Amino acid sequence: MEDYLPFVISGLGLGAVYALSGVGLVVLYRSSGVLNFAFGAIGAIGAYVAWSMLEADWPQGLAWCAAIVTSMLLSLAYGRLLAPRLSHRDPTIRSIATLGFALVVVGFTEWYWGEQPRRLVLPTDAGAIDFVLGEVDVRLTHTRALGLALAVLMMGGVGLLLSKTRVGLKMRALANDRDLSALLGIRVLGVDTVAWVLSGAFAGVCGLLLANIVRLQATLLTFLVIPAFAAAIIGRLHSLPATVAGGIAIGVLEALAITVPGFAAFRTATPFLIALAMIVFYRTGTRQA
Amino acid sequence: MQEVLPASLAEASRRARISLAVMVGSVLLIGLVVPWLANAYWIKTLTSSLALSIAAAGVALLYGQLGLVSLCQYALLGAGGWIALRAGHGLGWPFELSVLAGGLLSCVVGMLAGLPALRLKGLYLALVTMMMAGGFQVVINVTGFPDGGAGWLGRVFGSERLMMPRPALALSDAAYFRYVAVWLAVVLVLIELHRRTRAGRSWALIRRGEAAAVAAGVNILRYQTWAFGLAGFCAGVAGALLAGGVGQLDGRAFTAGDSVMLFALTVVGGVYHWAGALIAGLLLRAVPALLTDFGVNGYLAMIFFGLALLHALITAPSGIAGQLAGLIESVRKRLPGAGKDAAS
Amino acid sequence: MKKIQKKIALTFAVGAVGIAGAGGAWAQSGPDCGLNTGKPATGEPIPIGAVVGKTGPDDFSASGQAAAAYFKCVNANGGINGRPVDYIVVDDQWNPETAAQVASKLVKDRKVVALAGSTSFVECGANAKMYADEGVMVIAGTGVPRECFNARNYVPVNAGPRVSATIAAMYAAQKYKAKKMVCIIPNIPSLGNWACEGPKEWGKKNGVEVETIAIDPGSADATSTMLQAAAKKPDTIIMNVPKGILVPMLAAAEQQNIGKKIRFVSAAPAYNADVPKAIGPYWKGNFDVNLEFNPLESAGPDNRNWLAVMDKYGAKSDPRDTFSQAGYLAARIVTQALLKMDPKKIDRASVTDALRKVSDFRSDILCKPFYVGNGARHNANNSGPVASPDGNGWRFAPGGCLTADDPELVDIRADEQKMGLK
């Protein structure tokens, strides 16, 4: 048990961010039918903006707000200007289009900020929760604990939004049948805006946390969206609690995999293997996505 | 697609034969002419372009004919390349046999990857195939590609890495370019023959809906899996030819993102026309090479690519090839001979 | 009275010599490149190329920029006996396929007589055979994977991650009496199974146990790796990773307070102006880095010349880092070799011959004289000093350059003996 505890704890931090990213992806999918490949890129540029502001000695709170606002604005820009032009195409094409947007954002971020070792330090890094078991001493920084708390809170919050509010009802209607909803008088653009802005806010928060927990490097942060998709798959692109549980499980199992001698070199494949296993063993009839 | 409707079946089959001849002729003409015009840099680049066009043809088959999205075709390309390299270095097989072995393995793996397609559709299938591509990325990063060594993985240690031995009649870069063009023509004909026979009709019915297909007596399992197998074969052959062209493959160049880009650019090239595969290959290799040649910063090139992708997806549902075909059609309609065709 | 007169006379003499010396320095106030004639070269250009990894996980283009600046200086000072250098740099975008294409462009289309200042993670493996087949020599700025140090026609000016990690391990054993070490390396083929073997094999001969942990450079989880390393209870952890991965790994180690009981050392990639600030004050006094060249701020004349060349002929945005030093040295080596040749007989074969004959190239940027030779592989630079972060800068360990005692260098040592070098 002693051997595994450190990795369970270290996996929780990363798992929390996979969970948060997964929730952000599923929320947008449930309300607009689009899988957002640009989720990681939008979050990354927010993190770079925060880094630049912190380097220039602006206050912490302002830097975080700037990061989240940047992500929200970019997400809004895409959702209002580009996404409506593709609304009549099939969902896969609409998702692939977000890949184009991701390339633009990543290209700009790398070009503007250049490649230099950077670290995004958050004040919550200073404190940590200590887990001591025998000789083993492992710490869960407050940032990662915050990530976990946020994942659960957001899941609850968004769940409530979708099920108990009018906006949530409209978002669900739009995802179900866009044309019919428009006929029924739901303001399509308005509801879409809410969905994209919400997703952008998630992306900004995830970007800050991932930049701190993983690495402040635009291309890597962008393609971390692929393991986040694994969490979304575990939630069957629908259930938020399952997405959160899946994300945390992926993180913990990926960390634990380091203790398996032959598998340690392949442990970055853990999210993909778990997602595939879920598909194979947990089929609920024909899924029309 | 807008076409002037032929007046009789004979006319239709004549048209079909002509278009097949045009396709094969164009590809072979490209193979013949380009090495005279291009320098060493461009011959190498365009060889890779043609090889990737083969893979794009497979992607276009799955999406254009069946509406199925496979985001793991580049991983299958890598798998085919791996087998070809292993066969070429370790077993000393003739080049064609290595290519076919690569194609065969990717065909089988493609069929396995296609099994979820029987239950999943659309975006879900896309996600599942992307997960497979992600898994392949991790594995190939660890194992790398064979480069002349012994052992299961075929990796060399302690001496120079070997290049894949090329076929005897295609040793120079120019000759190899022509060789790849021939392979491209063969694969395009293979796909086109499928489209025109029972397989193509079955695919069209499956695309309309499973109920329609079953009612018409189509064995969905067989034809859908066969489509995946054929697409896998295309990817495997492309991987083997790419390995022969560059001489070696590197495990870091087979990410899940590459599979997604392959799909995206195939859609931009056009999935309903064979020229779309050619355009996709150019977009994947020739356009970035052009930007590099002009010294454009790699990240600015990435921005340009993203914008081009967005623009193409928004304005051209049947891709660039579709727009070109439409253009050619509208020019033909204005020609004096067009009226006669419609009347007879 | 006589004594005072003597003193005054002496003072005047010294003063006069001083002024004359200063005047002499003033007359040659530009940087020192090539023939130093001050007149631009106007003959037939000599094409020289370079392949750098610019677009990708890191930007290595500084070595190409430094070599370009040096060649510009040479061209403004009489060129190569009257002929200017036409220096062409291409970006391989960290993609081996692209590396093969752009190298083809340089070697087959532009017909370069040599390459100088290349720095790429991927091009050695992709192109070494082509360079050998075409008979063209590459005096590279910096090489990283094994293939760069195991090719007949590829000559890196730097020491390489294996040698650098070995020196770091030797330093840790010497200073901290470390007996057990863990070496962390990315699992890229021909790096992951090679670069940590240096410390390991050195350790076997010297009673130090060294274990290797190979990490996935794209992994998002640095904490688990650091916990795994710490669980092996080493005295020292040797970081042999690029600086982009080093910073988050040290951050993870800091969060787990691993630096409290375990010493950290690193190979050369950590020596960079941005690293001390990025890793923070936790690592002051507990992080030692081996350098492949002498420090960036050293006062030696060649180091000063490098900075002067960059100031006068380079762009302000060109980094002045170790890649830049390497590119400058590579360009200087090639220039010196070319200047010894007959300008009318400069072609690829004669240049390759001349470069193989490079044998006692001295610079205060390097710890020992550099050479090329006829060997099957090249690793002439195999010693370096050690530095440690201090606030926002670096502090240098006393003791100067340490030479690597890596058992794999035995063939290099044999070549050195044959060439009659110390």
- 3-class secondary structure per residue, chain C: CHHHHHHHHHHHHHHHHHHHHHHHHHHCCCCCCCCCCCCCCCCCCEEEEEEECCCCCCCCCHHHHHHHHHHHHHHCCCCECCECEEEEEEECCCCHHHHHHHHHHHHHHCCCCEEECCEECCHHHHHHHHHHHHCCCEEECEECCHHHHCCCCEEECCCCHHHHHHHHHHHHHHHHCCCEEEEEEECCCCCCCCCCHHHHHHHHHHCCEEEEEEECCCCCCHHHHHHHHHHCCCCEEEECCCHHHHHHHHHHHHHCCHHHCCEEEECHHHCCCCHHHHHCHHHCCCEEEECCCCCCCCCCHHHHHHHHHHHHHCCCCCCCCHHHHHHHHHHHHHHHHHHCCCHHHCCHHHHHHHHHCCCCECCCCCCCCECCCCCCCCCCCCEECEEEEECCEEEECCCCCEECCCHHHHHHHHHHHHCCCC
Residue C20: its pLDDT value, please?
47
- The mean pLDDT value for C180-207 works out to 93
Element (H, E) at B74: helix B73-86
Q: Which of residues 208-267 of A touch B (CB under 8 A)?
A: 223, 226-227, 229-230, 232-233, 237, 265-266
Q: How far lies A190's CA from each of A201, A204, B219, in Å?
A: 17, 21, 45
Which positions ≥6 away from A258 have C-beta within 8 Å?
A: A7, A264, A267, C224, C225, C228
- 3-state secondary structure (DSSP) of residue B163: coil
For C306, residues 6+ apart whose C-beta sits below 8 A from its C-beta are C66, C324, C325, C328, C365
The reported pLDDT for the residue numbered C29 is: 62
Please report whether residue C403 resides in a domain: no
Q: Do the domain assignments include residue C284?
A: yes
Please check whether residue C60 lies inside any domain of the structure.
yes
B266 part of a folded domain: no
Subunits in contact with chain B (3 or more CB pairs closer than 8 Å): A, C
Are residues C179 and C240 both part of a single domain? yes
Average pLDDT over residues B329-336: 88
Mean pLDDT for the stretch of residues B317-344: 78
Same structural domain for residues C204 and C266? yes
Q: Residue B283 to residues A44, A221, B235, B277, B294: CA-CA distances in angstroms?
A: 27, 25, 17, 10, 16
Q: Which residues contact C40 (CB under 8 A, 6 or more apart)?
A: C75, C76, C78, C79, C84
Mutate: best of B46, B136, B176, B252, partner C, most C CBs <10 A: B252
Let me know: does B268 contact B319? Beta carbons within 8 Å. Answer: yes
pLDDT, tens digit (0-9, with 9 covering 90-100), for A124-135? 888 888 888 777
Q: Is residue C417 part of a domain?
A: no
Q: Which residue in the set A141, A217, A254 is minimally distant from C221, CB to CB?
A: A254
**Tokens coding C181:** 């070490």
- For A56-111, how does the pLDDT look when each residue is reduced to its tens digit (9 = 90+)? 999 999 999 999 999 999 999 999 999 989 888 888 889 999 999 999 999 999 99
Q: What is each CA distance from B9 to B3, B14, B23, B341, C170, in whole angstroms?
A: 15, 8, 21, 14, 83
Instruction: Work out whether the CA dihedral C201, C203, C205, C208 comes out positive or negative.
Output: negative
Cβ contact A215–C244 (<8 Å) = yes
pLDDT tens track for A139-180: 889 999 999 999 999 889 988 988 899 988 888 888 777 788
B6 touches B12 (CB < 8 A): yes
Question: What is the fold of A5-281?
Answer: ABC transporter involved in vitamin B12 uptake, BtuC (1.10.3470)
Residue in B43, B45, B284 to test binding to C, most C beta-carbons within 10 Å = B45
Q: Summarize the confidence of residues B141-153 as an average pLDDT.
A: 81
Q: What is the reported pLDDT for A77?
A: 95
Tokens 């992926």 — which residue? A250
How does residue B181 score in pLDDT terms, banded at 50, 70 and 90? Answer: very high
Residues 92-111 (A) with a CB less than 8 A from some CB of B: 92-93, 95-97, 99-108, 110-111
Give the integer Cα–Cα distance in Å for A288 and A278.
17
Task: Among A104, A283, A289, select the one facing B306 at the smallest CB separation.
Answer: A104
- Comparing alpha-carbon positions, the chain A residue that sits nearest to B299 is A107
Residues near C339 by Cβ (< 8 Å), separated by ≥ 6? C34, C35, C80, C81
In 3D, which of B144, B279, B289 has the Cα closest to residue C93?
B289
b/e map of B208-239 (b: 16 or more CB within 10 Å)? Answer: eebeebeeeebeeeebbbbbbbbbbbbbbbbb
The pLDDT of residue C26 is 43
pLDDT for residue B338: 56
Give yes or no for C100 touching B (CB within 8 A).
yes
Task: Kindly state the average pLDDT of the residues C386-401.
Answer: 91
Encode pLDDT of A111-126 as tens digits: 999 888 899 999 988 8
Single residue among C290, C325, C342 that ends a domain in this structure = C290
For residue C297, give both structure tokens.
């701020």
> From the candidates C184, C187, C224, which should be mutated to test the interface with A, based on the most A CB atoms within 10 A?
C224
For chain C positions 263-322, those within 8 Å of chain A (CB to CB) are 272, 274-275, 278-280
Long-range pairs of A180-187 with CB within 8 A, sequence gap ≥ 24: none
Tell me whether residue B287 is in a domain.
no
Q: A38: which DSSP letter? A: T
Q: Is residue B5 in some structural domain?
A: no
Among B residues 250-289, those touching chain C with beta carbons less than 8 Å apart: 250-253, 288-289
Using a CB-CB cut-off of 8 Å, the residues of chain B touching A266 are 138-139, 142
Q: Which of residues 285-324 of B touch C (CB under 8 A)?
A: 288-289, 292-293, 297-299, 301
Claim to verify: residue C166 and residue C285 sit in the same structural domain: yes
Q: Which of B144, B82, B162, B81 is nearest to C190 (CA)?
A: B144
Residue in B160, B173, B242 nearest the CB of C129: B160
Q: Hey, are the CB atoms on B69 and A287 less than 8 Å from each other?
A: no
Tokens found for residue B64: 């254009």
Contact indicator for B153, B146 with CB cutoff of 8 Å: yes
pLDDT for the residue C95: 87
The mean pLDDT of B97-124, rounded to a whole number, is 89
As for how many domains chain C has, the answer is: 2
Q: Which sequence spans correspond to the domains of chain A?
A: 5-281
d(CA B25, CA B37): 18
Contact A227, A255 (CB under 8 A): no
- CATH of residue C351's domain is 3.40.50.2300
Q: Quickly count: other Cβ atoms within 10 Å of residue C280's Cβ.
A: 15
Query: Cβ contact (<8 Å) for C216 and B45?
Result: no
Judging contacts by C-beta atoms under 8 Å, the chain C residues touching residue A121 are 280
Residue C408 lies in a domain: no
Our CA-based measurement puts residue B41 at a distance from the nearest CA of chain C, in whole angstroms, of 5
Residues of A with Cβ-Cβ distance to C270 under 8 angstroms:
none
For residues C299 and C310, give the distance between their C-alpha atoms in angstroms, rounded to a whole number.
Answer: 16
Rounded average pLDDT over C19-31: 53
pLDDT, greater one: B5 or B339: B5
Q: Which of B341, B164, B302 is nearest to B239 (CA)?
A: B164
Cα–Cα distance between B50 and C16 in angstroms, integer? 74
The span from the CA of A280 to the CA of B116, in Å, is 8
Helices (H), chain A: 5-32, 39-55, 60-77, 91-113, 142-164, 166-176, 178-183, 188-213, 218-223, 225-234, 240-256, 270-281
DSSP state of B167: P
**Do C153 and C302 have their domain in common?**
yes
Instruction: Please indicate, yes or no, whether residues C254 and C342 belong to a single structural domain of this protein.
Output: no
For residue range C198-208, list pLDDT tens digits in order: 999 999 999 99
Question: CB distance from C159 to chain B under 8 Å?
Answer: no
Task: Let me know if A3 is exposed, middle or buried by CB neighbors in 10 A (0-12, 13-18, 19+).
Answer: exposed
Is the Cβ–Cβ distance between B62 and B231 less than 8 Å?
yes
Q: Which chain A residues are closer than 8 Å to C257 by Cβ?
A: 137, 139
Arithmetic mean of pLDDT, B278-295? 91
Residue B328 lies inside a defined structural domain of this protein: no
Which chain A residue is nearest to residue B265, measuring alpha carbons? A96
pLDDT in tens, B246-264: 888 888 889 998 999 999 9
Same domain, C176 and C115: no
How far from each other are the two terminal CA atoms of chain B, in whole angstroms? 22
C222 touches chain A (CB under 8 A): yes
> Pick from C104, C98, C144: which is nearest to C124 by CA?
C144
Q: Domain of C88? A: 46-160+295-381
- pLDDT tens across B293-312, in order? 888 888 999 999 899 999 99
Amino acid present at C250: L
For chain B, what is the domain count? 1
Strand, helix or coil for residue A287? strand
Q: Whole-model pTM?
A: 0.89
Determine the Cα–Cα distance for residues C298 and C284; give it in Å rounded to an integer: 21
Q: What is the pLDDT of residue A284?
A: 55
B141 to chain A, closest Cα gap in Å = 9
Query: Is B123 in contact with A91 (Cβ distance < 8 A)?
Result: yes
Report pLDDT for A52.
96
Q: Which domain holds residue B117?
A: 19-255
**C117: which strand partners?**
none
pLDDT of residue A279: 81
Q: Buried (b) or exposed (e) across C112-133, using 16+ Cβ within 10 A?
A: bbbbbbbbbbbbbbbbbbbbee
Picking from C237, C257, C290, the residue at the C-terminal end of a domain is: C290
Indicate yes or no: CB of C218 within 8 angstroms of CB of B141.
yes
